[in-house]
Amino acid sequence: MMRQYELVDRVRRYNPQADEVALNRAYVYAMKAHGAQKRASGDPYFSHPLEVAAILTDMKVDDATIVAAVLHDTIEDTDSTREEIDKLFGSDIGRLVDGLTKLKKLDLVSKRAAQAENFRKLLLAVVEDVRVLLVKLADRLHNMRTLHFVAPDKRARIAEETLDIYAPLAGRMGMQRMRDELDDLAFRHLMPDAYTMIAARLDDLHRKNGKIIVTIEKELTSELAARGINAKVAGRQKQPYSVWRKMERKSIAFEQLSDIFGFRVIVEEVDDCYRVVGVVHTKWAVVPGRFKDYISTPKENDYQSIHTTVVGPGRQRAELQVRTVVMHDIARNGIAAHALYKEGVIKGKESLTNESRSYQWLRRTVALLAEGATPEEFLEHTKLELFHDQVFCFTPNGRLIALPRGATPVDFAYAVHTDVGHSAVGAKINGRHAPLLSELQNGDEVEIARAEGQTPPAVWEGLVMTGKARLAIRRATRDALRAQYAALGRQIVTRAFERAGKTFAEDKLKSALPRLARTTIEDVLAAVGRGEMFSGDAVRAVYPEFMEERKPIVPRARGEAGWFGMKKAASLVFKIPGSGKPNQNSIPIHGSHGDLPVRFAPNGGAVPGDRIVGILTPGEGITIYPIQSPDLIAFDEEPERWLDVRWDIEESRHELFPARLLITAINEPGTLGTVATVIGDHAANIDNIVIKPLSADFREMTIDVEVNDLKHLNTIISRLRARPVVSKVERVNG
């Protein structure tokens, strides 16, 4: 177990001005607070916060973070209070410890809602002070190092949680060294057989190629020194989890991996990085397509380096990473190192931005909370942002847009601005027209064509790669659907007031909102449109004395034929469109893609020219039935769901409508082709066919077709009846 004097010595090595008194006071306080508590390993519990603090000294963090690490479990696991911590150590440290305490009960792989809510709390605390994240990750790292002492079921949960959340978050914050260790520790516990196999193969490969690695190190160091470049060259080997992930992602065997070994070249100046590349490319053959310049174009987590792959001695492929000392420190410690350079604790020759890109990303992510995302949506968005390699694309004016690999112009449009994404209708990639769902490549210039007033198709949600795009599309389609329900509800409520002999007025309905348990008029209208509230309730909320005099629908008698019985029943409720003059007060139906949520009867559909009835279906809008459909009898006892509707289709609108045909045909070769040809020749579409035998000579075909209107459908029926192979054709209405 680490001793107090050892911890103080580690801090003083990088910060001679460290507040030793505060460190000692935190040590004594925490040791007394934890008392005789034990860890699963049997060690005194107090050993854990000391080890967490020791991990943080490798990142060279400030005294307050070290003190918070020593105290981080006191409020959660002892009788200590926030007030006591504030009094003894100051409000800054108290706030850090309190932030960590709130996160202590995370259960990120149990119930999804709890996982999402707790993760949201984590990022909210981190965005207020990034040191919370540093302590949390160090806490998780030490827990992973001692995970073998934990019960197997709990061990698997913690390892999965680490691989799912903590390791990617460390990587997104640029803390690659910590991410690598978290990944490998989790991999070891979750897939021990795979870990053992890959680790053994790596050890065997290292024994075989050890001399080649040393040779390349010496040759490269000598070559650079001869050119006056002071550089430190070190060989490195991929970690087991990194190897396994690449094998899984590319579906390749271990023997097919070409970059297991690599070399890191550390220099003093940025100019030296490009000089090193010139030397390397002159000495060894370059592997095409493997050069990446992350110095001129840094990654979103502040990573900067030049990557190139060459064919070195023994025809061995080797990846080289070339970077400066400062870049190397930031690549290993990420946001922790960035803060130290910015504050002048460590002197670096490169100028740094006012705020790291990784922290800017974190702020943007948390800003989505203000946009009303649910915890589950927030977690989904963040996970999408955590797990990806990147491609870098440009706008026509040169703005750089970083996106996950596999991203599309739709992702690009939403990355530029949400309004650009919503209005995107086309794209040009490198000056050429391309589909909006094309996969983007590094260096692509993307231009988005826009049309105002568009709503993104709901199908885009499952095809985009970024959390921002997915969340925006989901919200836009949800808002559009709500607007449709509200528009439908407005028409229904307006007609309900007219039947009551009243005039619908929003101000009167607004005053009645408390009686309807709704906060806005739109809430009421949307609820009526969704079928969650009856229109009569809205009328009675404004006029309590109103009594609706609708008569119940009279069920059709068994002996009544055709659609006359249903027509008679329906006419008791409202005037049927088409029976005499059209009822202009009825709800106009513009089609399935109009401004109202409309669908058609599931067993036969409806087409323009049919006399139609609307049935309000909760959560689905209006279902349109032909008046002759026997399915309508199911709604006899629910008169409040019947709506007075009429067709209102523009002549210029080219939309097909569903209908169902029942055909009896001769069972001989070519019969189905004949039927399909008749339907196709008349510009109708076949949506589905079901064929069943009636006898050895006849087959029954149930065909769902899509037609323009009733005239179009009747023409097809008459043409089918004229074919010799067709015995009988009739339309199905439920």
CA angle 422, 425, 426 (to 5 degrees): 130
Task: State how far Cα 498 lies from the chain centre.
Answer: 46
Asked if pLDDT for residue 548 goes beyond 70, the answer is: no
Instruction: Give the pLDDT of residue 138.
Output: 93
Instruction: Give the pLDDT of residue 720.
Output: 94
For residue 126, what is the enclosing H or E element?
helix 112-128
Instruction: Give the pLDDT of residue 106.
Output: 44
What proportion of the chain, given as a percentage, has pLDDT over 90? Answer: 30
What is the Cα–Cα distance from 635 to 531, expressed in whole angstroms?
14
Average per-residue pLDDT in the chain? 81
Mean pLDDT calculated for residue range 622-642: 85
Cβ neighbours of residue 115 closer than 8 Å, sequence gap 6 or more: 107, 108, 109, 379
What proportion of the chain, given as a percentage, has pLDDT over 70? Answer: 82
Q: How many helices (H) and strands (E) does the chain have?
A: 29, 21
Nearest partner of 391 among 382, 400, 399, 383, judged by Cα: 400
Q: Which neighbouring-strand residues pair with 621?
A: 617
Cβ neighbours of residue 444 closer than 8 Å, sequence gap 6 or more: 391, 393, 394, 429, 430
Q: Which neighbouring-strand residues pair with 685?
A: 706
Instruction: Give the pLDDT of residue 562.
Output: 39
Per-residue pLDDT band for 547 (boundaries 50, 70, 90) equals low
Active site residues: 76-77
Instruction: Give the pLDDT of residue 119.
Output: 64
Asked if pLDDT for residue 637 goes beyond 60, the answer is: yes
Instruction: Give the pLDDT of residue 361.
Output: 65
Considering just the CA atoms, what is the radius of gyration of the chain in Å? 35
Residue tagged 């970077």 (tokens): 323
Cβ neighbours of residue 373 closer than 8 Å, sequence gap 6 or more: 381, 471, 475
What is the Cα–Cα distance from 561 to 564, expressed in whole angstroms?
7
What is the Cα–Cα distance from 543 to 519, expressed in whole angstroms?
19
What is the Cα–Cα distance from 454 to 476, expressed in whole angstroms?
10
Per-residue pLDDT band for 121 (boundaries 50, 70, 90) equals low
Strand segments, DSSP code E, in 184-332 are 232-237, 261-267, 285-286, 292-293, 306-311, 317-324
Helix (H, G, I), strand (E, B) or coil at 268: coil
DSSP string, 416-454: H-HHHHHTEEEEEETTEEE-TTPPP-TT-BEEEEE-TT-
Nearest partner of 402 among 475, 352, 338, 465, judged by Cα: 465
How many beta carbons lie within 10 A of that of residue 343, not counting itself?
Answer: 9
Instruction: Give the pLDDT of residue 347.
Output: 43
Helix (H, G, I), strand (E, B) or coil at 267: strand
Per-residue pLDDT band for 3 (boundaries 50, 70, 90) equals confident
> 284 vs 184, 267, 310, 525, 607, CA distance in Å?
32, 20, 6, 72, 72
Instruction: Give the pLDDT of residue 51.
Output: 93
Instruction: Give the pLDDT of residue 376.
Output: 59
- Report residue 290: phi and psi, to 5°: -115, 15
Residue 610 · residue 629 · CB < 8 Å: no
Residue 705 · residue 686 · CB < 8 Å: yes
Q: Which neighbouring-strand residues pair with 612?
A: 626
What is the Cα–Cα distance from 408 to 400, expressed in whole angstroms?
15
- pLDDT per position as a tens digit, 484-511: 788 888 888 887 887 788 888 888 888 8
Mean pLDDT calculated for residue range 624-646: 85
Helix (H, G, I), strand (E, B) or coil at 673: helix
Could you tell me the two tokens for 656? 């097909």
Could you tell me the two tokens for 315? 């025809």
Per-residue pLDDT band for 266 (boundaries 50, 70, 90) equals very high
**More confident site: 625 or 4:** 625
Give the least confident one: 6-15, 97-106, 132-141, 720-729: 97-106
Could you tell me the two tokens for 43? 């060690």
- pLDDT per position as a tens digit, 27-73: 999 999 998 889 888 888 989 999 999 999 988 888 999 999 999 88
User: Can you list the domains of the chain with their CATH numbers?
Assistant: 4-193 (1.10.3210.10), 204-342 (3.30.460.10), 388-465 (3.10.20.30), 476-542 (no CATH), 564-647 (no CATH), 657-732 (3.30.70.260)
Instruction: Give the pLDDT of residue 519.
Output: 83
Could you tell me the two tokens for 193? 């057989």
Task: State how far Cα 548 lies from the chain centre.
Answer: 47
Helix (H, G, I), strand (E, B) or coil at 221: helix
Instruction: Give the pLDDT of residue 218.
Output: 87
Q: What pTM was computed for the model?
A: 0.58
- pLDDT per position as a tens digit, 189-232: 999 999 999 999 888 888 887 787 888 888 889 989 998 999 99
Helix (H, G, I), strand (E, B) or coil at 659: strand
Instruction: Give the pLDDT of residue 333.
Output: 80
